[in-house]
């Protein structure tokens, strides 16, 4: 491996040039020693405050593995006869049943399902769109409790699939607080920060009150950078703030723990499985990935204005940390740096001309989600799970990525999502007819969420908006893909990345009239809204469910 200081510095310089932005910090740790540590740019462009290795960032979803580390540490502590945490599993399970709604209490959902993102619970940050939130809506802890109270169904049985849900770790943190009678901040300090030597790390639940001077920036080189206005509280799914030096101490701590097979970290990293005994690629706040043939443990983090990533290669005793106060892809930056340091190259398939059948929009009827397929530079670009994914052609009708396999056969798209333990066949949406704007204008009500979806517009323009417990949301552009299927585009939200395109699939009654719509994105699927009669009264509409 290329580990000379000069080579590492060159790799860091390459990272900086490929991911330009206001500022950042990066570290490389091998065998417990720091072989690269550098910050650059500005923590605050307007005030010209330099970024340093002591500047604190919100590390966002990297918090999740630390919550699991608290859980595993408590599990180890209960083995002591004098422990106050005796029967911790029973206490957590009983408390989980109290937190869950009656409708899903008997779903056999376990604490481990939460840790592995296999619960089937929809993501509460995605749901805030349907509750009427704006990107800068103030979202407080009591609001999270209101959202939980409206989660009355699952979008798959627990253990069947993987679906990333911040809700899982928010619930897990509340369980730990309830059972231990201590705050999650105290538990993180005792079980993670102090043992790791993370001297300035802390839990900051309100990201409108992040410790200075670091500012997060939305935008890019083309549009310019502007300060992200963060307004919400989170606790468990995110919330930890830490400097690069704190993260270096964390990685050194994890490298030490890896040598002890009984340690919390080694136990967290043990293989996890789905209910059908297939190996899961996510467990206990850790993604298990493969970079150019090298097994890697890691996790990313994001909120508007920040992107973070950490990865650990146990076989090489190597860790990389990347922190950006802008929205460049920190996870790709960390992986690319690993490839540079290890002189790794991805195996490239021979050039193949794609079948003309690929391009189009396809409906996965089971999940009520659209897969949009484009062909670009002999690659298949599939937008399905909230982001465009690039698949390389193996032959003209088969394509593959690290996590997805796809096949096109006439007008049927077959997809296997390996990370998610899910396979489906999606039919191509025809353009023989398009649902007219006038047919769908009106209001639709979801009883489960207590949310109203409003469609407005005329001619060829249609807009969608949501009203709910968080207010009256903004109007979003809607686009018809053919038939009665539309998408609502949400590019900014309370959390980041935003849900992206929501599939909006209208249904008709026996007379051919639109009477229902199913709304969903990958993080929150299959939510039914029923058309309602409406009478205007000042600011609001009085809605009666149309039987």
Q: Which tens digit of pLDDT belongs to each residue from 134-182?
A: 999 999 999 999 999 999 999 999 999 999 999 999 999 999 999 999 9
Domain boundary pick from 406, 428, 450: 428
Residue 64 designated active-site? yes
Q: Which of 39, 61, 73, 368 is catalytic?
A: 61
215 lies in the same domain as 329:
yes
pLDDT number for residue 259: 97
Whether 545 maps to a domain, the answer reads no
Spans of the chain, pLDDT less than 50: 536-547
264 lies in the same domain as 400:
no
In the chain, the number of structural domains is: 3
Q: Which of 64, 235, 302, 342 is catalytic?
A: 64
Q: Which two tokens stand for residue 545?
A: 């469910």
Output the domain CATH number for residue 330.
3.40.710.10
Whether 129 maps to a domain, the answer reads no
pLDDT number for residue 300: 98
160 lies in the same domain as 43:
yes
Domain boundary pick from 294, 312, 342: 342
476 lies in the same domain as 416:
no
pLDDT number for residue 82: 54
412 lies in the same domain as 454:
no
Whether 466 maps to a domain, the answer reads yes
pLDDT number for residue 385: 84
Residue 61 designated active-site? yes
**Residues sharing a CB contact under 8 Å with residue 184, sequence separation 6 or more, in sequence order:** 67, 70, 173, 176, 177, 203, 235, 236, 239
Task: Give the 3-state DSSP-derived string for 480-538, with helices as H, strands as E and coil as C.
Answer: EEEECEEEEEECCCCCCCCCEEEEEEEEECCCCCEEEEEEEECCEEEEEEEEEEEEEEC
Whether 314 maps to a domain, the answer reads yes
Q: Which tens digit of pLDDT belongs to each residue from 301-341?
A: 999 999 999 999 999 999 999 999 999 999 999 999 999 99
300 lies in the same domain as 399:
no
Contact 422, 441 (CB under 8 A): no
End-to-end distance of the chain based on CA atoms, in angstroms? Answer: 68
pTM of the model: 0.94
CA distance 398 to 355: 9
**Residues sharing a CB contact under 8 Å with residue 370, sequence separation 6 or more, in sequence order:** 361, 362, 363, 364, 384, 429, 481, 485, 487, 501, 503
Output the domain CATH number for residue 368.
2.40.128.50
Whether 410 maps to a domain, the answer reads yes
458 lies in the same domain as 376:
no
202 lies in the same domain as 235:
yes
Instruction: Output b/e per residue, 375-386; b: 16+ Cβ within 10 A.
Output: beeebbbbbbbb
Query: DSSP state, 233?
Result: B
423 lies in the same domain as 449:
no
104 lies in the same domain as 14:
yes
Whether 348 maps to a domain, the answer reads no
373 lies in the same domain as 413:
yes
pLDDT number for residue 5: 66
94 lies in the same domain as 15:
yes
Full domain range(s) for residue 317: 7-120+156-342
Whether 125 maps to a domain, the answer reads no
Adjacent-strand bridge partners of 39: 25
CA distance 499 to 525: 11
Whether 335 maps to a domain, the answer reads yes
């Amino acid at each position: 491996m290329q580990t000379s200081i000069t080579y590492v510095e060159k790799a860091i310089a390459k990272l900086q040039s490929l991911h330009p932005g206001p500022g950042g910090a990066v570290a490389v740790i091998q065998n417990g020693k720091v072989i690269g540590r550098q910050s650059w740019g500005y923590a605050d462009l307007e005030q010209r405050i330099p970024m340093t290795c002591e500047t604190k960032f919100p590390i966002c979803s990297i918090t999740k593995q630390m919550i699991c580390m608290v859980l595993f540490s408590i599990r180890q502590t209960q083995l002591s006869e004098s422990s106050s945490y005796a029967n911790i599993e029973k206490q957590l399970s009983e408390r989980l049943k109290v937190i869950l709604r009656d409708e899903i209490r008997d779903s056999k959902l376990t604490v481990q399902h939460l840790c592995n993102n296999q619960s089937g619970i929809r993501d509460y940050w995605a749901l805030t769109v349907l509750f009427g939130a704006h990107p800068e809506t103030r979202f407080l802890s009591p609001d999270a409790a209101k959202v939980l109270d409206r989660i009355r169904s699952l979008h798959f049985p627990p253990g069947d699939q993987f679906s990333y849900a911040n809700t899982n770790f928010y619930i897990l943190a509340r369980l730990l607080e309830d059972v231990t009678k201590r705050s999650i901040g105290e538990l993180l300090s005792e079980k993670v920060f102090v043992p790791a030597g993370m001297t300035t790390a802390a839990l900051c639940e309100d990201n409108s009150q992040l410790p200075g001077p670091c500012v997060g920036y939305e935008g890019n080189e083309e549009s310019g950078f502007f300060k992200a206005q963060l307004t919400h509280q989170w606790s468990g799914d995110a919330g930890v703030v830490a400097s690069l030096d704190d993260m270096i101490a964390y990685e050194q701590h994890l490298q030490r723990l890896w040598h002890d097979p009984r340690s919390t970290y080694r136990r967290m990293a043990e293989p996890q499985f789905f209910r059908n005994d297939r190996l899961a690629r996510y467990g206990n706040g850790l993604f298990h990935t493969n970079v150019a043939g090298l097994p890697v443990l890691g996790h990313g983090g994001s909120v508007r204005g920040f992107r973070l990533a950490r990865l650990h290669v146990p076989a090489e005793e190597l860790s990389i940390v990347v922190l950006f106060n802008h929205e460049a892809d920190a996870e790709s930056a960390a992986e690319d740096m690993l490839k540079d340091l290890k002189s790794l190259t991805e195996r490239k398939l021979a050039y193949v001309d794609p079948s003309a059948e690929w391009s189009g929009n396809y409906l996965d009827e089971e999940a009520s989600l659209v897969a949009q397929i484009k062909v670009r530079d002999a690659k298949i670009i599939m937008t399905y799970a909230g982001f465009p994914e690039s698949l390389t052609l193996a032959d003209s009708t088969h394509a593959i990525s690290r996590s997805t396999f796809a096949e096109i056969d006439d007008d049927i798209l077959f997809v296997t999502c390996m990370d998610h333990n899910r396979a489906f066949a999606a039919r191509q949406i025809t353009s023989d007819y398009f649902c007219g704007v006038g047919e769908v204008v009106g209001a639709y009500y979801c009883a489960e969420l207590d949310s109203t979806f409003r469609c407005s517009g005329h001619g060829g323009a249609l807009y969608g908006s949501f009203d709910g417990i968080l207010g009256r949301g903004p109007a979003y552009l809607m686009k018809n893909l053919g038939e009665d299927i539309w998408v609502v585009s949400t590019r900014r939200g309370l959390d980041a990345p935003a849900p992206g395109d929501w599939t909006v699939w209208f249904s008709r009654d026996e007379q051919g009239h639109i009477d229902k719509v199913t709304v969903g994105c990958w993080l929150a699927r299959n939510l039914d809204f029923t058309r309602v009669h409406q009478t205007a009264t000042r600011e609001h509409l009085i809605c009666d469910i149309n039987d």
